[in-house]
């Protein structure tokens, strides 16, 4: 089969299109013929080697964390899916590889594709929607009437998180550029801060939850918009000791992560706030709940551009430019 692979780690190293063997199918996996694959900033970071301590992939490997397609084979222990099912998934770490014609995915990480979405729309959903779900539902336990600040409202995670928070009944604030203010409001944001003109720290206050997806400077300012007892959940770091324990990191890596997050944790503690780092996990049952929200109309995917399979490097470069409104997708079949 054809696939785009990382031959060597490096920010400037292009993915190589190559003929590779079909994936080995384990007993608890389904083989998916890939129709479309979502492209994420995580793909660029893994290619550049930023996550080698957390995810030690051995080169060469196939990149790609989002898939929508059709089940073509099932392992002997698979019970929930059959050949011909239209499905979507965020494959498990160390079993990624959706920039390819086929990918093998654990049954527990797969869900039936929403019936009202195209394959390209469905491929845009899993990673960002699961990130939003695990942050706002799992970590924050966001309730009706609470206030949540979601950074970068026009980004992949932001566009989904705004809709989910609104569905949960929260008051939603976000940031966006001047040209995107009205559009982000149409997704469900109540307050949109123009980051080109205003500092969100001086506009917002007394929030219950912040979902941080930006740099360390933004994270530090985000602590100041929370009320005592509030929660800051960061998907962009710094990783904390709890995360290090969860991934069973070696002792030295655990100490590094503890040191990286020390300043943030100390400031959060002083302000009586909770801080946690979230690195989302594949989860088919959560994805099935997201399917229900999409089919009911409570959430809709936002796709900026669809690139042909041959243009996978161009798609990745566009995501790295951070100009995308919503998600970027590769059409494989």
Mean pLDDT of the chain: 96
Q: How confident is the model at residue 71 (pLDDT cuts 50, 70, 90)?
A: very high
Give residue 319's pLDDT band: very low, low, confident or very high (50, 70, 90). Answer: very high
CA atoms within 13 A on the CB side of 13: 19
Averaged pLDDT for residues 281-304: 98
Per-residue model confidence (pLDDT) at position 252: 85
**How many Å apart are CA 130 and CA 211, to the nearest integer?**
14
Type and span of the H or E element at 255: helix 251-260
Measured distance CA(197)–CA(29) in Å, rounded: 50
pLDDT tens digits, one per residue of 112-155? 999 999 999 999 999 999 999 999 999 999 999 999 999 999 99
DSSP annotation of 79 reads -
Q: Is the pLDDT of residue 244 over 90?
A: no
Ordered domains of the chain (ranges, CATH): 2-125+301-331 (3.90.180.10), 128-277 (3.40.50.720)
Higher pLDDT, 256 or 74: 74
pLDDT at residue 74 in the model: 98
For residue 181, the SS3 value is helix
Burial 181-190 (b: 16+ CB within 10 A, else e): bebbbebbbe
More confident residue, 245 or 272: 272
pLDDT of residue 151: 97
């Amino acid at each position: 089969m054809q696939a785009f692979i990382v031959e060597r780690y490096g920010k400037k190293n292009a993915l190589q299109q190559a003929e590779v063997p079909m994936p080995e199918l384990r007993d608890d996996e389904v083989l998916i013929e890939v129709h479309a694959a979502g492209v994420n900033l995580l793909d660029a970071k893994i290619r550049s080697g930023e996550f080698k301590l957390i995810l030690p992939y051995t080169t060469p490997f196939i990149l790609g964390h989002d898939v929508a397609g059709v089940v073509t084979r099932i392992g002997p222990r698979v019970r929930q899916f059959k050949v011909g099912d239209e499905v979507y998934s965020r494959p498990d770490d160390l079993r990624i590889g959706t920039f390819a014609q086929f990918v093998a995915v654990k049954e527990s990480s797969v869900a039936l594709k929403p019936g009202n979405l195209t394959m390209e729309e469905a491929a845009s959903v899993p990673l960002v929607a699961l990130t939003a779900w695990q942050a706002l539902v799992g970590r924050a336990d966001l309730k009706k009437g609470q206030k949540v600040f979601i950074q970068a409202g026009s980004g992949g995670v932001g566009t989904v998180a705004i809709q989910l928070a609104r569905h949960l009944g929260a008051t939603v604030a976000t940031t966006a550029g001047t040209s995107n203010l009205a559009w982000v409001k149409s997704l469900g944001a109540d307050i949109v801060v123009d980051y080109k003109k205003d500092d969100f720290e001086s506009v917002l206050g007394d929030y219950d939850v912040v979902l941080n997806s930006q740099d360390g400077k933004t994270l530090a300012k985000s602590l100041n918009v929370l009320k005592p007892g509030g929660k800051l959940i960061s998907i962009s770091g710094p990783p904390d000791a709890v995360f290090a324990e969860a991934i069973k990191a070696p002792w030295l890596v655990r100490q590094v992560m503890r040191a990286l997050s020390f300043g943030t944790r100390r400031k959060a503690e002083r302000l009586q706030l909770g801080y946690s780092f979230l690195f989302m996990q594949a989860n088919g049952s959560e994805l099935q709940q997201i399917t229900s929200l999409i089919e009911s109309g409570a959430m809709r995917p936002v796709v900026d551009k669809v690139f042909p399979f041959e243009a996978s490097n161009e798609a990745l470069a566009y995501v790295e430019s951070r100009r995308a409104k919503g998600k970027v997708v590769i059409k494989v079949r």
